Amino acid sequence: MKKIIVGSGYKALAALMLIAFLQRGVAQQIASGSEFSKPNIIFFLTDDQRWDALGAAGNTIIQTPHLDRLARAGILFQNAYVTTSICCVSRASLLTGQYEAYHNIHDFSTDLTPEALSQTYPVLLKNAGYRIGSIGKFGVGKNPPHSIYDFWVDTEEGGKGQPDYIITGDDGNLIHDTDTLNNAIQRFLDEYGNNDKPFCLSVSFKAPHEQDGHPPEYIIQQAYKDYYKDITIPEPVTADPKYWQQLPDFFRTDTNFARARWRGLFGTPALFQENVKNYYRLITGVDDAVGNTMHKLRELGLDKNTIIIFMGDNGMFLGEHGMEGKWYGYEESIRVPLLIYDPNTPDKIRQYKASQIALNIDIAPTILAMAGVQAPKQMQGINLIDLVQNKLPERNEFFYQHYFLGGPRIPKVEGVVTKEFKYMNYIEHNYEELYDVKHDPHETVNLVDNPKYKSQLSALRKKYRNMQKIYGVSAGKRAKARTPSQL
């Protein structure tokens, strides 16, 4: 069993130099007195929550009343995506506002460099006079930057991998990860809620990620064991075996991670029912933790000046196409829930269902803008509030990339996603997929060889080549050869 780690532990010389730099920046901000009028910000992140696992997104089975309430009072993004669907890369993109090829996190062991860390949203907010806290799984590298934070609760035990769902708490008793985080949020708000500085708290739940194992499993809080028990979960359209069978030979192997995990979690109708319900139960547990947070904010008189952002770090196959997991470019994998609740949001964007494409790389610049802090030029995302207020042009497409491991376990893929079409290229095999997602939202028919879509395929291939030059790995290497001021 793992114990919670709170506080220090990042002793590298480069990190100490960074801390000294931060302290100078904070002192300058305090001297100016500019931090006192700034909003508090809480960023909730779930692990593997797909876009439609939320009541506000139209799911009539899952119970997420607190998040639904925030979505109704704020902005619900209906087309939110990640640029790489795996937690280590996506979390680095959330922190830095950059595509994978630019932040250079391609695996679970690489840390952000001190220079890259200094340009993440928590550090930039600390420079601007914010108290910053991190609760839960940091998720990037082996040496999380404990000591730059004012408040730190690490259920990952110092970057050693996925946290366990059941750990030993401070009192020596066993406790579920969601309850651990819920308790830590309450402690943080008690300590920093009535401080003379604004705060930014980043909360990362393990839920609803499976507990790794053979087979993997979803370990729920016992309080939720009877939720959904009398409901039959409908099987997805593409759970039909024919959709796995129509995939190419290099993909359709037992060594494909998504297929291997499918067998243990969704390989029979009984497993499907049990594990989708457990997935939902974990999300309902998170929803209650969010509700407890909102109650605490009201109790402390902070609810009128605290912005809430909620997002998933990537999506999740729940049996679609005969798979469990993420990684590939299908909607279930790359599309995530995203809502922003600001109690001081202008009326014209309250209760707003935003159709614009939003990305994980937009979170950092959006948080900074809300705090009145200038985003560095290296950030490739945009301020989503400006987007929904039509102060920025709508994004028509984005580049998708996933390079971790490679075939046969996780074949590498790149592509272009638009609102109407999706083009994916499995780069190790030059195998292409083209889907008309507007008319075929379940991505059942690959249109690459359909002559009726020749013009669309040609246009997307061209976009892909152009975007690959900008956002692909070689582009990132060229960018890192330049100085930050040149980016």
Say which amino acid occupies 116.
A
DSSP 8-state class, residue 255: T
Least confident of 23-27, 60-64, 251-255: 23-27
What is the per-residue pLDDT for 280?
A: 98
Rounded Cα–Cα distance for residues 89 and 471 (Å): 14
Residue 302 has pLDDT above 60, yes or no: yes
Residue 14 has pLDDT above 50, yes or no: no
Read off the pLDDT of each residue in 17-37 and give the average, rounded to a whole number. Answer: 44
According to DSSP, the residues that pair with 202 across neighbouring strands are: 43, 134
pLDDT band, very low/low/confident/very high, at 155 (cuts 50, 70, 90): confident
What is the per-residue pLDDT for 152?
A: 96
Read off the pLDDT of each residue in 467-478 and give the average, rounded to a whole number. Answer: 79
24-36 burial, b at 16+ Cβ within 10 Å, e below that, comes to: ebbeebeeeeebe
Q: What is the pTM of this model?
A: 0.90
Q: Which is nearest to 81 in space by CA: 335, 452, 424, 362?
A: 335
User: Could you tell me the sign of the dihedral formed by the alpha carbons of 108, 110, 115, 116, in that order?
Assistant: negative
pLDDT band, very low/low/confident/very high, at 34 (cuts 50, 70, 90): very low
Task: Using alpha carbons, list the distances in angstroms from residue 34 to 39, 126, 252, 371.
Answer: 12, 13, 57, 11
What is the per-residue pLDDT for 336?
A: 98
What is the per-residue pLDDT for 483?
A: 38
Q: Which is nearest to 362 in space by CA: 95, 67, 17?
A: 95
Read off the pLDDT of each residue in 361-366 and give the average, rounded to a whole number. Answer: 98
Averaged pLDDT of the chain? 90
Enumerate domains of the chain plus CATH numbers: 5-396 (3.40.720.10)
Q: Are 37 and 304 in contact (CB under 8 A)?
A: no
Read off the pLDDT of each residue in 261-275 and give the average, rounded to a whole number. Answer: 96
Say which amino acid occupies 452.
K
Tens digit of pLDDT for each residue in 188-239?
Answer: 999 999 888 999 999 999 999 999 888 889 999 999 999 999 999 999 999 9
Read off the pLDDT of each residue in 102-122 and give the average, rounded to a whole number. Answer: 95
Residue 26 has pLDDT above 50, yes or no: no
